[in-house]
Structure 1
Amino acid sequence: MTRIAYSPCPNDTFVFHAWAHGLVPGAPELDVTFADIDITNGMAERGELDVLKVSYAVLPWVLDEYALLPCGGALGRGCGPLVLTREPGNREVGGLSGRTVAVPSERSTAYLLFRLWAAETVPGGVGRVVVLPFHEIMPAVRDGKVDAGLVIHEARFTYQRYGLHRLVDLGEHWETTTGHPIPLGAIIAKRSLGAPTLRRLAESARESVRMAWAAPDVSRAYVREHAQEMDPSVADQHIALYVNGYTEDLGAAGYAAASALLDRASAEKLVPGVAPGALDFV
């Protein structure tokens, strides 16, 4: 039995539906734990479970124990996090200088992208960063408890309902300045499982993605069950945005994007340096 943790978000339940339900021929049986990515990041740092969906940002702390699988994760274009404010902002004059910003995690790719953008754009830096649960961030911005909020996932489609304004699309900034797609969520597995098992896990994840694409209606009930109160149309948009060719296979472009993010973050002393070859698959 392979112990795995991934989020209840539509992209993860869509990707792993076939595997979790024993529909992938020859795949190891899964014991699934649902947890938001800030929780799975911590699980990875503590060495819990065999396979985890985590932020690319946490990899520098866990690559000694875990290997990056070349499939199953979230990496793409036009899918980056947003910085939201209650009033229209003016980033050219550093509208966040000295302000308070709520973020969902300090171990997330979104946070790294935010810090890299702020280092280039916000004179003197932001005043204070506070960590809030993801679902509390937009209400906190709306109610004036914080000056801005860093949001991810389906908030791209729903922030207008809170009367909020997009200050910056951090993914757009990343793509424009680097040319790379945006590395968001990674699938990792314990190196101690051994190379043959790691390859089997990767192929199982890849086949689960292919099966989800081939028969998307099969996973619909599973996706809706775990998407809580998310509107079905938003869930469909979520899947379309975050499940793409990089989910099936990172490829050279995916690995280059991950390396670029971690190298830039290391240069800014946001994460430890990653040894050459540490991202390579067995």
Structure 2
Amino acid sequence: MLIAHSPDADDIFMYYAIKFGWVGMDGVKFENIAEDIQTLNEKALAGMYEIAAISFALYPHIRDEYALLRTAVSFGDGYGPKIIKKKGAKLKRNFKVALSGEHTTNAMLFRIAYPDARVTYMNFLEIEEAVLSGKVDAGVLIHESILTYDSELEVEREMWDIWQELAGGELPLPLGGMAIMRSIPLNKAIEYEATLTKAVRVAREHKTKLSEMLLERNLVRIDAQTLDKYLELYANDDSVSLNELQYRAINKLFEIGYKHGFYDALVRAEDFMIPTEYKELRHS
């Protein structure tokens, strides 16, 4: 079974308990591939991966082909992607901005907040340099770069603040989740979700050891101190399994997207999860 995830440290951390053999599933060999988030979103739209990390903002577009998983989720809570520019720069109403992909959560929120901005999309690893070189006026940083950006740059606005204005409350910001193809037999899908959930839980329980192994093998792009801070932001105890507040946040994101014409229907996350009760009914 191939698991597709992004190359950022939180996704690596949440998967690698499987890669290192700490967690497994009888009769199943797991393999992984790491690709940038927009590539993952595009391939989910094309139905190319059976299990894949996606941006939450993408999900309503793939709801007929994929179910949402409850685990390996990343939310912002008082933090998130950052709109950055060169220090001292004044942005015009129609400033040119680099975003990490059309279907990312940050792209949807940005386009709602800045309808006159001229948007260009690029790999998230290229955005900082594009701002520094003047190729664009601003960019939205995601992943580890929110902690490591160049000293010549400054934050124009936090995506968290935009989210709070649009969501109207103290809901966490839904960024990344996992989706599984509906063509997978339900009993198998339930087992896959359980295995992935266990992997995230084991990773959290052994955070220090797993982090050391990732650093020793150069599997992450940041140093130990930054990794520790980053994991507490995006691969924390609330990443193991969705809670009620997170469901409310995802539903609010979908509501905002529907209101602004990004989706063709208003959907609720709870209606698109794997029905784990099937396993209990099957054996009752």
TM-score (norm 1): 0.87
Verify: 1:201 aligned to 2:192, yes or no: yes
- Once residues 105 and 39 of structure 1 are traced to their aligned partners in structure 2, the CA distance between those partners, rounded to angstroms, is 8
Q: Which runs of 5+ in 2 are unaligned?
A: 276-284
In 2, Cα distance between the equivalents of 1:111 and 1:16?
25
Counterpart CA distance in 1 for 2:104 and 2:139 is 14
**2:111 pairs with one of 91, 99, 115:** 115
* Structure 1 contact 71–248 (Cα < 8 Å) conserved: yes
Residue type of the alignment partner of 1:248: V
Gaps of 5+ in 1: 120-124
Counterpart residue number, 1:122? none
**Paired residue for 1:19?**
18
Q: Which residue of 2 aligns with 1:240?
A: 232
Contact 2:204 2:237 in 1 (8 A): no
Percent of aligned positions that are identical:
27
**Count of residue pairs brought into register by the alignment:** 270
RMSD of aligned C-alpha atoms?
2.1
User: How far apart are the structure 1 equivalents of 2:86 and 2:107?
Assistant: 20
Q: Would the aligned equivalents of 2:200 and 2:240 in 1 still touch at CA under 8 Å?
A: yes
Q: CA deviation at 1:228?
A: 5.1
Query: CA offsets, 1:128-167, max 9 Å, x none?
Result: 11112212211221222211111111121122x2411101
Q: Please tell me the residue identity of whatever aligns with 2:17.
A: A
Contact kept in structure 1, 2:251 and 2:267, CA below 8 Å: no
Structure 1 distance, partners of 2:92, 2:66, is 36
Q: Partners of 1:111 and 1:86 in 2: how far apart? A: 20
Q: Paired residue for 1:58? A: 58
Secondary structure of 1:193 counterpart:
coil
Contact kept, 8 Å, 1:138 with 1:149, in 2: the verdict is yes
TM-score, normalised to structure 2, is: 0.87
1:9 aligned residue: 8
Aligned partner of 1:104 among 93, 100, 103: 100
Match of 2:279 in 1: none
Residue 220 (structure 1) aligned with residue 219 (structure 2): no
Question: 3-state DSSP class of the match of 2:114?
Answer: helix
Q: Describe how 1:17-56 pairs up with structure 2 within 5 A.
A: 17-26=16-25, 28-56=28-56
In structure 2, what is the Cα distance between the partners aligned to 1:6 and 1:182? 19
Deviations 1:6-31 (A, max 9, x none): 12211111111112333225464312
